[in-house]
Amino acid sequence: MSDSDPLSLPVLPLRDLVLFPGVTVPIAAGRPATLKALEAAQKHKGKLILAVTQRQNTRDVEADGLFTIGTIARIEQVQRTLSGVQVLLHGRERGMAMRYDETSDGYLSAVVREVEEMPPSSMEDPAFVALYREARARAGELGEKSGLAQDAVRQVLAGIDEPGRLADLVAGYIDISQEERQALLETLSIEERVRRVLIHVQRQLEIMDAQSNLKSKVQEEIGDRQKEIFLREQLKAIQNELGEGEEGDDLAELGAKLEGLELPPEGRKEVDREMKRLSRFGREAMEAQVIRTYLETVAELPWSERSEERLDQAEAARILDEDHYGLKEVKDRILELLAVRQLCLEAEAREAEEPHNEDLAVEDIDLVEEPEAAEAGPEEASEEAAPRPATPESAKGDPEDDPTNAPILLFVGPPGVGKTSLAKSIARSMGREYVRISLGGARDEADIRGHRRTYVGAMPGRIIKGMKQAGTKNPVFLLDEVDKLGVSFQGDPASALLEVLDPAQNDSFTDHYMGIPFDLSEVLFICTANFLQNIPGPLVDRMEMIEFSGYTEREKQAIASQYLIPRQLRRNGLNAEQIEIGEDGLARVISEFTREAGVRQLEREIGRLARKVARKIAAREVEHVAVDAPKVTELLGRPKVHPEKMAQQDQVGVATGMFYTPAGGDIMFVEATTMPGKGKLALTGQLGDVMKESAQAAWSYARSNAQALSIDPQDFERDLHIHVPAGAIPKDGPSAGVTMATALISSLSGRPARHDLAMTGEITLNGRVLPIGGVKEKILGGVRAGIRQFLLPKENEADLEDLPKEVIDQIEVTPVKELGEVLAVSLCDASFRDGRLLFGDQRPEDVAPLTSNFEH
């Protein structure tokens, strides 16, 4: 049949079915028009019929309800049934209905023309060959996964050598919608049809793989569960045969252990309720495992176990001094705690004896004054007897008044000064257990209070876990890095700590997982932090703060000699006969290779030094190394730290200030210079807003007191530039106010500022000098830089008591209350009398007084 020879064929409407060329399918027919069309087709010479799919699944068929392209099929077999006929159709080629006509017998016929396919441009094209081979391979895989025999699939594919026929065959059997099937039938390009069929096959394979994985997982889960039940039953039977007890034995053991705990009333009620629930469940029940885990957690907590405290103050002081150098304030606080505990125990012992003596006295008086009371019955005598004083437990009252409550300490200081290690030493000196948890980065409230048992995988919080680890009711509990707590949508752990660290509440701390109160009042909580401002105010208010300041160079040398060097020698396999680190060598390591408030980097550098020596000794190059200052440079290389040093001479517009960071104190230079301009003030050096405001205040003070400061008013029409090196480091804070004012006035007046003097203090517009913080660290930094004379606010004079005696003996400190006193000391050839700043031979009556609210 060709395009010029159209045929008139009966039409077989198909519902929800698309017949492809080369595919043989059985069809059930029962509609009268369809039966008549089949009869007409059988009378045709080739028993041909046009099988066309209906657009809609309707019983009555019209020409508009049929697609245009269908398949010219041959009727292979017809079998009549009670409901109609079963027809076996074999698709031959695609056919296009030119028009549909309704015959007088009531069925549709069509003028059909064969549709020619569009072959690929070249059957040898590598891309098409690869596409065809991939389609064959995937079609075979789909057939095997669909349950067909492997040999049958291979036999079918072996009989197909045309790409178009392969695409039609596969399209007739894959599970796709009617619209997608019709689209494939109407795709005349063989290459495009093969590609589309490959896509549908690949999708079917992925769906079958997903279903297979899901089925295997479900079967595996069910199988594991059944296997577990079966094995448990077998284990139970084996245990019974061996006489190892029934299932209830371990429950009885757990119940006996819980019965022996000194639980609070609400705790006893909850535990008894959970034990009854556990006894009703089988061991295989998931709920039984949850309940059992909860009860075992309760049983493992130290409800009444306590460590026997060591109250010997001398021994405790020896242990603290053995582990840490200095830190007098915190050591005194621990010894005070031991003294208080000792006195409280003695008072409790006396109270335990007093009630017995008072009863004897009352009985003696009754016998003398009222003899008839001796003849009264036992019940009457007990009613008339004087009441006993309350026991210490009943007399506790307010938890804050309980002498057994331990303090809650907060150690605040820079890194490496011994906060964490001191907590462990405190536990050892007191004879208590030690527990440490790090709170750095904790962002979930459940880290502190635990998860409720309604959640899958619930567990207690880290506080209860720590108490379980300690095994006693009165450990030393370290909450490390409490200033690093985070906040997230899961809650604020800092707020959860409020109950833990409140002496009025922590005697009944309730973990979400436990659901019953636990007494934390005897725990010695110690928190550590680097930055106090990062801790919420309500949390700080519940703790007793002890500040750790940075170590001086002399303290670092002592710590290195007593602790760090011996420890690093042991770690590196050396002894004192092989290496000797002199004081000058140690001083160079401290000053030129470390810059810190603590000693961590110092220990690392000492370890590096020891390793260098160990390598030489191991190589048999030397047997003994004496490490002095030049040897340090030879072993460790060039210095890593270049601290500021005192200026060599007095300069105009350059003043020396002091600053403090967590790494310690140091000096800084403030430079000021004038230039032609319009009276503008420029500030550089990455200054923060507070430092900029200090410079503005100094500028305004100088302009308002120009005559008293001997400054030409014309100079304020020049531009002034203030710079604070180093420019790459951000700086902020009010304590550089006096330094900026000195450099500014020195530049405007043309008088040099002293190079051997360092100063610190905040200033106001009327010249007052306000107190600042970090005095100890700032002066120690100045001493390291070679400066021995300092200016401090008058109100900071008491802070000098924190300085070591060897530092106080070598420095001279001038306390000041106003800027005039500062300038009189910091500027060369200046003095301050009667509220006037005098230079050289100036007399007070020739100089205007500085504007100030002070009385001179």
Interval 397-413: pLDDT, tens: 555 556 556 778 899 88
Classify 79 as helix, strand or coil. Answer: strand
Higher per-residue pLDDT: 707 or 297: 297
DSSP annotation of 596? -
> Which pLDDT value is given to residue 382?
37
Q: Are 756 and 825 in contact (CB under 8 A)?
A: no
SS3 796: helix
Best-predicted range by mean pLDDT (34-48, 149-163, 744-758): 744-758
Give the three-state DSSP class for 642.
coil
pLDDT tier, 612 (very low <50, low <70, confident <90, very high otherwise): very high
Report the alpha-carbon distance of residue 632 to residue 593 in Å, rounded.
10
Angle at 25 between CA 24 and CA 28, to 5 degrees: 150
Angle at 194 between CA 193 and CA 198, to 5 degrees: 115
Q: pLDDT over 70 for what percent of the chain?
A: 89
Positions marked active-site: 735, 778
Question: Is the pLDDT confidence value at 369 over 50?
Answer: no
* 216 has a pLDDT exceeding 70: yes
pLDDT at 174: 84
**Residue 809 has what DSSP assignment?**
T
Q: Does the pLDDT of residue 210 top 70, yes or no?
A: yes
| More confidently predicted of 284 and 689 | 689
Who wins on pLDDT, 254 or 111?
111
Query: What pairing do the DSSP bridges indicate for beta strands 408-412 and 434-438?
Result: unpaired
Residue 340: CB partners within 8 Å, gap ≥ 6? 403
Residue, of 50 and 159, whose pLDDT is higher: 50
How much is the pLDDT for 396? Answer: 45
- As a whole number of angstroms, the distance between CA 22 and CA 31 comes to 26
Q: How does pLDDT run across 520-542, given as a tens digit for each residue?
A: 988 999 999 988 888 888 888 88
The pLDDT of residue 753 is 93
The per-residue pLDDT for 386 is 38
Residue 181, C-beta contacts closer than 8 angstroms, at least 6 positions apart = 18, 20, 53, 171
CA dihedral 816, 822, 825, 830 (to 10 degrees): -130
Query: Which of 52, 43, 47 is closest to 75 using CA atoms?
Result: 47
Give per-residue pLDDT as tens, 618-662: 999 888 999 998 999 888 888 887 777 888 888 999 999 998 876
pLDDT at 451: 85
The string of pLDDT tens digits covering residues 103-125 is 888 888 899 998 888 888 777 78
The pLDDT-based confidence of 853 (bands split at 50, 70, 90) is very low
Name the H helices within 146-189: 150-158, 163-171, 178-186
pLDDT at 488: 67
Q: Is the pLDDT of residue 501 over 70?
A: yes
Please tell me the predicted confidence (pLDDT) of residue 568.
92
Whole-number pLDDT of residue 249: 67
What mean pLDDT do residues 477-500 have?
82
Q: What are phi and psi of 82, to 5 degrees?
A: -65, -30
pLDDT in tens, 795-806: 999 988 888 888
Distance from C-alpha of 804 to C-alpha of 793, rounded to nearest angstrom: 20
**Which band of pLDDT confidence, cut at 50, 70 and 90, is reported for residue 246?**
low
Q: Can you tell me the distance from the alpha carbon of 85 to that of 110, in angstroms, rounded to the nearest whole number?
A: 22
pLDDT tens digits, 419-469: 888 889 889 888 899 999 988 878 788 888 888 888 888 888 889 999 999
358, pLDDT greater than 50: no
Across the chain, mean pLDDT equals 83
At 606, is the pLDDT very low, low, confident or very high (cuts 50, 70, 90)?
very high
Query: Which pTM was predicted?
Result: 0.60
Higher pLDDT, 77 or 5: 77
By the 8 A CB rule, do 1 and 50 touch? no
If you average pLDDT over residues 593-600, what whole number do you get? Answer: 84
pLDDT of the residue at 241: 67
Q: Is the pLDDT of residue 388 over 80?
A: no
Alpha-helix residue ranges (DSSP H) falling in 560-628: 565-571, 583-593, 600-618
Kindly tell me if the per-residue pLDDT of 291 is higher than 90. Answer: no
Report pLDDT digits (tens) over 713-735: 888 888 899 999 876 678 778 88
Residue 663's pLDDT band, with cuts at 50, 70 and 90, is low
Element (H, E) at 434: strand 434-438
